[in-house]
Chains A and B, each alone.
Chain A
């Protein structure tokens, strides 16, 4: 027998025992409500009572809300005047695009009658239709950093194709600024000039943070293609509120943008004469132009949609509550009836 076998046999035995039990997870898991998935839980059940009540409550809330919204919308007085067609002299109507691109006088006079008393402030909007400010090529074509500060003047990468003129950057660059709306309106009431306040029509945050106070227009509309309006090169961008409003791109092809505010009341029957300069070309794409005078309510402008939608949803909920009540009364079903479990039925016996 070898002499050294006994020397470490006990150690070897211990080692093997150790290895055989090493993977055993003998640590008992800790008990907690979370680990055992036994957190106290509320288990709602759709009893007819609750469901019918819920629908009733919804309809009871929604119908009055709809009525209130509808009233709010009805309270708003709105004058809408489409002028794009009528402001083209009849001889030129065959070729509107040529007229608008030509150099003829584009003044046009429109007369509006106030249907109802309008309390100030009265907002003057221009409304464009079929104008895709949300087109991808268009909406991306701007440089926010350039607008914000003068030192980022050269950040014009996104602005193509209206980025520079002969290598010099355009400020403000991009298609949006380039296509600035440039119709103007001069309003008068009963032959007295009606003052339209054009200050404070843009968002305060835009004036203060998005458009720099020391950024001035440069090389604007000097390229070989002229788009829309021009800018006063001596006024900083933060003061060019028409531009700021225009640069808040609209998400829909029909949109209104604020032109100014009338800070006096208009009485019923007042005649408002608008002398407008019909400069902006919407004729090449059959876009409509409208002048809108509107008051506002707590819900905003004239918009019946919310009221009608609320009444509809409320009505449907009421109808559903009614239907469910009738169903419950006509054909009551016991909830959780074990006879509905197929494996509790006698096979072949049916039910």
Chain B
């Protein structure tokens, strides 16, 4: 399929008739109600409630007033619908803002100012510097005579560097005036979401030059939501508009995420539903049998002899309605409410505010807080997430002299500064390479200062550092570079740029010194790709040492080199280079080959060391979360060495004796397969040892592994607690998330750039860092936080509390519903199995809505452990991860409790109110009061920390119950008239209540005490420790072992720094050292590692089973 776009021709493009209106809204004004209702009713629970509510309209079977179900049902639907409507309205507003942005377009040769939404396909759009591109354009002209312009694509792919875009060859040299009247046709593919491809053709109509077809690539496009930078103006013809742009196509409505907890609650609801059906069938059969045997004899009931056909169904249906309260209608509202509050707590948390920028955390998705407490895998981006993404030149080694070692900042090193002023040749050359061996574009800022626009942050750091060292890169004019050194200006002409490729791992420029006409080759690159080409005789030992030294400090190193070229050597080479550059087949490889011919006999000037500073608290955060049993994977687009270095410096992987790195690589299937096999073998054998084993894989190998050896790779993923994936693309990141998810792990993806967006959306929980790479990730994420270190608070504090609270709230909701339902069931046995409701409609409705929902809502501020204890013992998160607080067995406990309480309430009520007191309304009210009293005490017993609010709601609710009932008892027309007054004046009532509470709570309290003291869970132990005050302090001392950070740890990391040691598999570092086999490990972490890594494979492993038994 192709589409034809006619430039500047409204008539011909009309059939495409797609304006540039962006719409992200889900509903329109008209379809809101039906669509929303349809969506709501696609949930099983809602269908169930609707069915019940409809059945209740049949008065023959309804035990109570239909309003008792319809009221809450309508309320719940209204709440959900208005929430949706509100969200959608906000989407509409933000769309509207984008749509109404003003842009310049050209129509029939005249420039017009229109709104962005009015742009038609084929319009010529004009952009100025810093304008946002309103739709996908094909470039036609720019202010640059060469037809180049720069765009920032951060919003699209998250890369902050400037990209160059060029006008198609057919448009080169077209006069500005003519541009306005340009006509032509573009043949382009139908809209897709691939932002790296655009295979189109363009043909201009006469009078424009030749009518040759000119091919277009992505290099000729300006895509929607990019920004035009460093270019005065640019114009282009719109090819895709509105929701058909590359960005629009890739923007899907994210699937609503369901937490593991919701899934569990749904499962339990299903179980209760099955139980209910069984109960209904049993009672239905019993009811029919009783009716036929007994009720026929009871003349006062007057059962008709001839029954309608549905007679058999009536009793089961009555019981269905009677038991329908087993599934609490209030649970959804309660959960929505508390989830909203969890999200608010995250946003309100002052400890999660980035002090530098004042950015508070933000929970875009309010529904998945509990999942935070159940995270098992964290997949993190590196740059900008773990690091600050601020590259700073820190140290250097020039000609064997180390600078910046004393104070950690070479820019302030007096020796270096004096070397510069004295004009030491090596130093000056070194600085020259720093300043001009790059693709940086200097731009004059408004205030006259120079701003550097660089594709790579490293280059930018080098140029800035050079400027600080008085070697200022002033300007670039076509091929002429201007440099100012100590007041004098030096000009260079750039002859060739030998671009950086990931294979070459170096880049060079060939420049001609305009003063003396010398031709110089300047190179910089990774040590392994520069040092082998050093000129014979130069000692590279100091350089190697320097690189090694810097690498251990976690610095990114580059070697700088220099060579003067003879003119004819250059000319000879230049011909070959030009030739290679124009080859169509294997161009990259040919160029590399040619470059190699020039890049030899280099004189190594020295080494630069750039710091990409870790964010504050990253190592601690990773260590704590790791102790909490969370596995970390690092997914980065960065190269392997840097990734490993960063990983080491942030506790991601452990250095030598404790840790082991396994490398999977290879270019071909066989290589990868072999490598994978070997790593798996090592993994399997080492899982029994408490050792930090991590595997490292690069994008290429990953692609092969996932494609052909998925099974092996999945096994590896399960075995490995840590992984480093380097050079991975955004889609591979998402793929990894998907692999982990397919193994039923809860994943959290954290990232900061647009390249992390897909992974963030794919993961169970996406966390965005509202950082330097724009807000792309933060916008797509469920949570956005200011810094990486807030993650530990997000998970350990907010996630954990949310999980605990929801676990209580949901089970309690079932408990209270079951309690009242069991009483109804028991009552049916003494009411002729006829489906009489013991409670009246008002009580039934109010029971769920008022009497029992308020106290439990206050459980959202309950804290089982203080934040400090959790931080000190992050292992406690295991209870949430493993779902210890909400699972079928805990639920069975609550089920049993409600059964027990129902028996207590029922037996006591019918015996205490026997004979002359057995009046229906009174008895019902006594039973109800019993339930209310019991539930108040149950909430009180399950509350871990009582604040004023808790007391207020628990006891206030009890008082409220009486107030409400007094009110109803005062209305003469209500069935309950005077009932409550009569009851409250009888001593017998109060005696009964005390008995119910005593008999109901006594055993439960005793059981709790017994468990708490003699079979305590870890949570209980910490509670005791925290509240009795004493032992926690000593405990803290055990926990805070002297942590060996990388700065202190200077054990030789052979694999990383010594190229000669590299082998496909990273054998245990220093495998012959005794440490490798007999290592000592502290009390921290190790048992947990057992059950974390092994539990997946065999639940019988010691650590795991021990922990299971303990609860």
**Interface of A with B (CB < 8 Å)?**
1-2, 4-5, 8-9, 12-13, 15-17, 19-20, 23-31, 34-37, 39-48, 51, 54-55, 58, 62, 65, 69, 123, 125, 127, 131-139, 144, 148, 161-162, 175, 178-179, 203, 205, 209-210, 225, 227-228, 248-258, 281, 284-286, 294, 298-301, 303, 305-306, 309-310, 313-314, 316-317, 320, 324, 327, 331, 333-338, 340-347
Contact = CB atoms under 8 A, between A and B. Distances in A.
B774 interface: yes
Interface string B1029-1063: 01110110010000000000000000000000000
Contact of B295 (A133, A135, A251): A135
A210 B977 contact: yes
A215 to B, nearest CB: 15
Contact of B362 (A25, A179, A340): A25
Interface string B329-360: 00000000000000011011111010001111
Listed residue (A65, A210, A300) with the most chain B CB atoms within 10 angstroms of its CB: A300
A232 to B, nearest CB: 21
Contacts of B304: 161
Listed residue (A137, A139, A249) with the most chain B CB atoms within 10 angstroms of its CB: A137
B423 interface: no
Nearest to A176: B300
B345 A303 contact: no
A39 B836 contact: no
Contacts of B279: none
Given A44-B946, A309-B908, A36 B1013 contact: no
A148 B972 CA distance: 10
B114 to A, nearest CB: 14
Contacts of B986: 300
A193 B446 CA distance: 119
B233 A5 contact: yes
B63 interface: yes
Contacts of A175: 300-302
B988 A306 contact: yes
A21 to B, nearest CB: 8
B1008 A136 contact: no
Contacts of B977: 205, 209-210
B1087 A347 contact: yes
B606 to A, nearest CB: 39
Interface string B947-960: 11110000000000
B696 to A, nearest CB: 28
B275 interface: no
Nearest to B947: A39
A301 B913 CA distance: 10
Contacts of A135: 295, 298, 301, 831-832, 834, 836
Contact of A26 (B303, B358, B972): B358
Contacts of B1009: 46, 51, 324
A299 B995 CA distance: 14
A342 B1083 CA distance: 10
Given A337-B1031, A347-B1086, A15 B919 contact: no
Contact of B836 (A17, A134, A303, A334): A134
Nearest to A337: B1031
B861 A139 contact: no
Contact of A25 (B360, B920, B1014, B1083): B360
A212 B972 CA distance: 12
Contact of B912 (A281, A303, A334, A347): A303
B831 A132 contact: yes
Given A36-B350, A134-B920, 4 more contacts: A5-B143, A39-B949, A251-B923, A342-B1106
Contact of B1027 (A137, A254, A336): A336
Contact of A340 (B143, B227, B946, B1021): B1021
Contact of A298 (B227, B987, B1025, B1030): B987
A30 B344 CA distance: 12
Contacts of A309: 908, 911-912, 995, 999
Nearest to A139: B836
Nearest to A132: B832
B71 interface: no
Nearest to A286: B297
A17 to B, nearest CB: 8
A306 B359 contact: no
Contact of B63 (A136, A281, A294, A334): A136
B301 A344 contact: no
B468 interface: no
Contact of A252 (B834, B910, B1031, B1090): B910
Interface stretch (B124-132, B677-685, B730-738, B1070-1078): B124-132
A26 B348 contact: no
A255 B918 contact: yes
Given A45-B1028, A300-B917, A344 B832 contact: no
A162 B986 CA distance: 36
A303 B912 CA distance: 7
A334 B1022 CA distance: 12
Contact of A342 (B130, B299, B1087): B1087
Contact of B128 (A5, A254, A299, A346): A5
Contacts of B176: 1-2
Interface residues of B, number: 130
Nearest to B874: A343
B995 A306 contact: yes
A19 B132 contact: yes
B1028 A251 contact: no
Interface in B341-388: 344-345, 347-351, 353, 357-360, 362
Given A41-B863, A248-B920, A336 B301 contact: no
A75 to B, nearest CB: 14
7 contacts: A23-B778, A131-B298, A144-B975, A203-B982, A251-B827, A306-B995, A338-B1025
B1024 A45 contact: yes
B242 interface: no
B898 interface: no
B348 A35 contact: yes
Contacts of A51: 1005-1006, 1009
A255 B915 contact: yes
Given A132-B832, A135-B301, A338-B1031, A37 B1038 contact: no
Contacts of B1013: 46, 48, 333, 335
A138 B300 contact: yes
A35 B352 CA distance: 12
B1084 interface: yes
A282 B141 CA distance: 105
B108 interface: no
Given A43-B946, A134-B831, A342-B1110, A227 B300 contact: yes
B875 interface: yes
B317 to A, nearest CB: 12
A251 B838 contact: yes
Contacts of B1008: 46
Contacts of B63: 136
A152 to B, nearest CB: 11
Contacts of A346: 1083
A48 B1028 CA distance: 13
A133 B1025 CA distance: 58
B916 A65 contact: no
Contacts of B949: 39
A331 B294 CA distance: 58
* 6 A-B pairs with the lowest CB-CB distances in the bound complex, closest first: A336-B1025, A336-B1024, A35-B348, A179-B300, A41-B945, A335-B1024
Contact of A15 (B101, B801, B861): B101
Given A5-B128, A29-B349, A43 B1027 contact: yes
Contacts of A132: 298, 301, 831-832, 834
A74 B251 CA distance: 81
Nearest to B304: A161
A317 B915 contact: no
Nearest to A33: B947
Contacts of B1103: 342, 347
